[in-house]
Structure 1
Amino acid sequence: VIGTRLYLFGGHSGNKHLTDLHVLDTQKLQWSQPEIMGTPPPGLRGHTANLIGHKIFLFGGYDGKGRTNELYILDTAEGKWVRPTWPTDSPHTPPGRQRHSASLIGSKRIYILGGFDGNKWLNDLHVLDVGRLEESALNDVAVHRLIENMRRLLNSPDFSDITFVVEGKHVHAHKAILVAQCDHFRAMFSDGRF
């Protein structure tokens, strides 16, 4: 619940897993289906949802094929789904599960307890530090921007500082990138051969 709005995502109709999002205005007692940008989670049941500020963190659940350990964030202020990058195969990441508990303790930590992995009931405890996740997401954005900026400079005669002739074609490059990526070029440029 955010203010007077109750958010409902997913579930199972008896025939299929649902991917729709419904919002109940608790004052008017009216349901709506808002337009949300981004890619929603697959149809899930048995997942958990935790609210931090204006963001709803969905974790785990069963999608009809298997139990997931993926995390999705519904940013209700911006009206979009976000799927943060996090290592789903790390030994520190909780394995896929459904019917688990997840509780926000403090302002930035979600504690994930137990659940069912498809074979057995679990009794493990994991902590999702949302503060670190947000730092990681910001770093991912910075890296993505850097990559996009560097891509614009590739094979640009105006901004390159070295040109190779390969089979009669000019290939414009950047010494800094070559040095960072290749020990051979690092040695060549360090020895003053170029």
Structure 2
Amino acid sequence: ASGCDAMSGLTPEVLAERIAEAQKTHKLNIGYLGLSDISPEHIKRIAREAPHITVLELSSNNLTDLPEEIAGLRYVRKLHMKYNKLTRIPAVLVKFPQLQVLELSGNHLEEVDDTVSQMKHVTELDLSGNLLRKLPDSITKMPSLSHLQLENNRLEILPDSMDELKTLVRLDISTNNLTFLPQSMGKLKKIQRIDAANNQLAKVPPCMGHCKTLKEFNVKYNDLVEPYRVKAQEGLVRFLLFLREEEERERLEEIERLKPVGTEVGSYVEYRCKAEVSQIVKLEDGDSISIDNRCWIRSGHTITKVGNTIYMFGGIITKDGTKSNELFWLSTDRMEWHNQITTGAKPCPRDGHCAVYDELKNMLVVFGGRSPEKKRLNDVCCLNLDTWEWIRPNCEGNPPEPREQAMSVVMDGMLYIFGGHGSKQRFNDLHILDLSVWGWSTPTTTGTPPSPRQASAICLSGSQIFLHGGRNNA
């Protein structure tokens, strides 16, 4: 059919009138005309005569798709296509480089495909009034999305990765079939308004009590159980406080339920630690890998306690004699080992190193040791316990000579290294690394120093360092 036949409402006179208006306002309105399609010829004319259109109004037509040629309107920032007959999001929309607002409400969309993740600049997405039952994880990959409207659909579930919507400010999921909200919504950092009214929610994730930026949270007309229903009626501040208290109550119940049972062995209590053999872990790039959480028997490793968590790094694995650079951790609440995935400049495998915790930077600091090639080390490697990223700082000053089985403590942002075994001798020198500026220094001490030694026991009490035992040159 010709352009005019297919678009009976868009006569040459009407098109000329709308183009003339767009030349002045940069807004093209060809909505409310009952159009079943838009011909490439008309698009080419529009692009030629009004190339700088920023707002395109196509609402209240009968469109089922858009032609490829429409990508020529490259300055479009707002596209309104509500009340058409779309069954899918037109693929050509990813070719709009400046698109920020996309309105697709009142169509016949039954699913959203992964192309939405390519819409890097869209800040407002309206998919309300469609036939959606679920959303793909890719919708959480839209880096600029601040407003997401999903009301009046048939949604039964939301993506587990909702927390990846780092810029989300407003979310409307009202009038759907949701029975629960994902735990990840408690990690939405910028969310201000959530409308979850008229669903089938029995509870709200207690972790959502930590949504500090939240100004409005509507959960009316759900199936909330007590005390959620009553608390939700007491106002936002009290409801969020209740959720935080509920989270703590559930946490304590879970600790009690999973509390390990120890066996008395003389004056000690022995625990058999658990570990999941094949845990599937999702990486940041979307891939998944299988992790073996078994922490094999080893020697020459370090353990460092931070709160109720114990971190274990490196060592020689007894069963095959290999050296490790894996990081394991366990919570003393559950006594279950976890093999932690880390990024960054990971240390080489080693044993005989030392490791301490710097609470000022919340990081694990590893020094020295011996590599698989039997080379003694004097490098410094730091693991950020918030991001699990290793760094290798460029330290100024004169570092200690390479050594293994040195002793270390940390105090007020200062790392103290004493003794250890070098390539030809044992040491009794003291070195200090300022962790704020990454600078080595060698202090002047008085009195009688300890004899050169390795593998001593060391601890900190107040401003004093206590040293005991070890192996000397005798």
Q: What is the RMSD of the two structures over their aligned residues, measured on CA atoms?
A: 1.5
Query: Which residue of 421, 426, 431 maps to 1:121?
Result: 426
Alpha-carbon shift at residue 86 of structure 1 (Å): 2.2
Distance in 2, Cα, partners of 1:78 & 1:2: 16
Query: Which residue of 89, 98, 101 maps to 2:407?
Result: 101
| Structure of higher RCO (CA pairs closer than 8 Å, 6+ residues apart) | 1
Alpha-carbon shift at residue 118 of structure 1 (Å): 2.2
Q: TM-score, normalised by structure 2?
A: 0.27
**1:116 is aligned with what amino acid?**
H
The equivalent of 1:29 in structure 2 is: 335
Alpha-carbon shift at residue 132 of structure 1 (Å): 1.5
**1:100 is aligned with what amino acid?**
A
Matches within 5 A, 1:47-86: 47-53=353-359, 54-65=362-373, 66-86=375-395
The equivalent of 1:13 in structure 2 is: 317
Alpha-carbon shift at residue 133 of structure 1 (Å): 1.7
Distance in 2, Cα, partners of 1:115 & 1:97: 6
Alpha-carbon shift at residue 103 of structure 1 (Å): 1.2
Alpha-carbon shift at residue 39 of structure 1 (Å): 2.7
The equivalent of 1:4 in structure 2 is: 308
Alpha-carbon shift at residue 117 of structure 1 (Å): 0.6
Report % sequence identity.
Answer: 27
Alpha-carbon shift at residue 38 of structure 1 (Å): 1.2
Distance in 2, Cα, partners of 1:79 & 1:104: 20
Distance in 1, Cα, partners of 2:340 & 2:437: 29
Distance in 1, Cα, partners of 2:419 & 2:322: 25
- List runs of 5+ in structure 2 lacking aligned partners: 1-304, 440-474
Distance in 2, Cα, partners of 1:39 & 1:126: 24
Per the alignment, in what secondary structure is the counterpart of residue 110 of structure 1? strand
Instruction: Establish whether residue 111 from structure 1 lines up as the match of residue 419 from structure 2.
Output: no
Cα deviation code 1:132-154 (max 9, x no counterpart): 229xxxxxxxxxxxxxxxxxxxx
Distance in 1, Cα, partners of 2:338 & 2:317: 18
Per the alignment, in what secondary structure is the counterpart of residue 390 of structure 2? strand
Distance in 2, Cα, partners of 1:97 & 1:22: 24
Alpha-carbon shift at residue 104 of structure 1 (Å): 1.3
Distance in 2, Cα, partners of 1:49 & 1:73: 9
Distance in 2, Cα, partners of 1:81 & 1:32: 18
Alpha-carbon shift at residue 19 of structure 1 (Å): 1.2
Per the alignment, in what secondary structure is the counterpart of residue 428 of structure 2? strand
Alpha-carbon shift at residue 10 of structure 1 (Å): 0.3
**1:82 is aligned with what amino acid?**
I
Cα deviation code 1:56-97 (max 9, x no counterpart): 11000001321111000011111111111125xx6x211111
The equivalent of 2:98 in structure 1 is: none
Alpha-carbon shift at residue 25 of structure 1 (Å): 1.3
Distance in 2, Cα, partners of 1:13 & 1:119: 26
Alpha-carbon shift at residue 4 of structure 1 (Å): 1.7
Aligned residues: 130
Per the alignment, in what secondary structure is the counterpart of residue 60 of structure 1? strand
Alpha-carbon shift at residue 48 of structure 1 (Å): 0.6
Per the alignment, in what secondary structure is the counterpart of residue 416 of structure 2? strand
Per the alignment, in what secondary structure is the counterpart of residue 16 of structure 1? coil
- List runs of 5+ in structure 1 lacking aligned partners: 135-194
Distance in 1, Cα, partners of 2:437 & 2:347: 22
Distance in 2, Cα, partners of 1:103 & 1:29: 25
Per the alignment, in what secondary structure is the counterpart of residue 438 of structure 2? helix
